[in-house]
Amino acid sequence: MKNTVTKVIAVALLLGTCVVWIHCDEEGPTEKNDNVKNTDFVAEESVSFKIAVTDQLRFRLEGINGNVSIVGISQADSVIITGEKRVGSDSMADAQEHLQELEVLVQDSAEEIFVETDQPQETHGRSYVVDYTVTLPRDLEVLVTNINGTAEIESIHNSVTVNSVNGLVTLDEILGSALIGLTNGQITSRVTLPLDGTIEMITANGVIELHIPQNTSAEFSAIVGNGLITLSNLDLKDQVSSANSLSGSLGEGQGTIALSTGNGNIFVTGF
């Protein structure tokens, strides 16, 4: 789990901008393999799933374009998934036709509940977006992979892993390890690290904000390419610092905290 690497899915190279407007005008459908001129017309559809949790250990979601919101619920006995699907094209008829090619797939196995966005590899300029809202038992492990969009995860009492390319990652009230790999975007987090747990946050371009309890026990390291490292309200022992790095021990040094950004600041605050 410690070797978190940002997953850059090959289909990311095929996706365009996902800013869309809804129009009421109708035009004829575009030929299936023709490139569309714009994404001004948007077809939408909602989907929902409810899966009972028995002995599953984790929830895993693989998105492409869209925002992800996951909230852990005390004493919940099921995973509830709501998806908002949208396809943008240069006519409403074409958008509606291709909406049928955008699917949310759900698999329920003995160990995990897996949700996946399924869309054509060749978009021909159309925009395909799925926004997810999920509630689940807070003691499930959570793993999210996405390309473009925000990821907000709240109230999980287990490990959280997020791999994304572009977007904001927000973790709140996490009691467990937190492993974040991001290419472009900010990481904002509030994490209570268990003994021998790991917080690893890496972004190529963006700010990292980490809030942890004052009594956190971990070996700490932070590295910036261009930026500042600020540690406040925490007692870092055996400090070793340079213009671009800071390391030392918090408490007894039982866990691991490793933070890195190429361009951006790192802020770590005790609460």
Q: Is residue 33 part of a domain?
A: no
pLDDT at 31: 55
Q: Which residues of 199-220 are buried (b: 16+ CB within 10 A; e: fewer)?
A: bbbbbbbbbbbbbbeeebbbbb
β-strands 112-118, 103-108: how paired? antiparallel
Nearest to 77 by CA among 48, 56, 47, 61: 56
Number of domain units in the chain = 1
Nearest to 201 by CA among 228, 219, 217, 177: 177
> What is the C-alpha to C-alpha distance for residues 268 and 190, in angstroms, rounded to an integer?
10
Q: Is residue 95 part of a domain?
A: no
Residue 20 has pLDDT above 50, yes or no: no
Per-residue pLDDT tens over the stretch 183-213: 999 999 999 999 999 999 999 999 999 999 9
Nearest to 188 by CA among 269, 67, 258: 269
Sign of CA dihedral 211, 215, 216, 218: positive
Structure tokens that stand for 246 in this block:
């800071």
Could you tell me which residue, 159 or 14, shows the higher pLDDT?
159
> What is the C-alpha to C-alpha distance for residues 112 and 161, in angstroms, rounded to an integer?
14
pLDDT at 268: 98
| Average model confidence (pLDDT) across the chain | 90
Alpha-carbon torsion, ordered 247, 253, 259, 265, to 10 deg: -60
Where does the pLDDT of residue 161 fall: very low under 50, low under 70, confident under 90, or very high at 90 and above?
very high
pTM for the model: 0.86
Q: Is residue 156 part of a domain?
A: yes
Q: Is residue 182 part of a domain?
A: yes
**How buried is residue 255: exposed, middle or buried, by Cβ count under 10 Å (0-12/13-18/19+)?**
buried
Where does the pLDDT of residue 11 fall: very low under 50, low under 70, confident under 90, or very high at 90 and above?
very low
Report the percent of the chain where pLDDT is more than 90: 87
Q: Name 79's bridge partners.
A: 51
Phi, psi angles (nearest 5°) of residue 70: -130, 130
Q: Name 166's bridge partners.
A: 148, 184
**Mean pLDDT (whole number) for 50-78:** 97
> What is the C-alpha to C-alpha distance for residues 138 and 120, in angstroms, rounded to an integer?
33
> What is the C-alpha to C-alpha distance for residues 226 and 266, in angstroms, rounded to an integer?
10
Residue 55 has pLDDT above 80, yes or no: yes
Could you tell me which residue, 46 or 31, shows the higher pLDDT?
46
Q: Is residue 110 part of a domain?
A: yes
- Asked if residue 156 lies in contact with residue 140, where contact means CB atoms within 8 angstroms, the answer is yes
Q: Is residue 138 part of a domain?
A: yes
Give the CA distances from residue 112 to residues 5, 51, 77, in Å, rounded to whole numbers and listed in that order.
21, 11, 14
Domain region containing 215: 10-17+54-85+101-270
Phi, psi angles (nearest 5°) of residue 58: -145, 160
Q: Is residue 247 part of a domain?
A: yes
Q: Is residue 215 part of a domain?
A: yes
> What is the C-alpha to C-alpha distance for residues 135 and 109, in angstroms, rounded to an integer?
18
Write down how long the chain is.
271
Residue 133 has pLDDT above 60, yes or no: yes
Q: Name 118's bridge partners.
A: 103
**Mean pLDDT (whole number) for 144-155:** 98
> What is the C-alpha to C-alpha distance for residues 242 and 237, in angstroms, rounded to an integer?
15
Q: What is the CATH number of the domain that holds 142?
A: 2.160.20
Per-residue pLDDT tens over the stretch 250-265: 999 999 999 999 999 9
pLDDT at 34: 79
Could you tell me which residue, 7 or 179, shows the higher pLDDT?
179
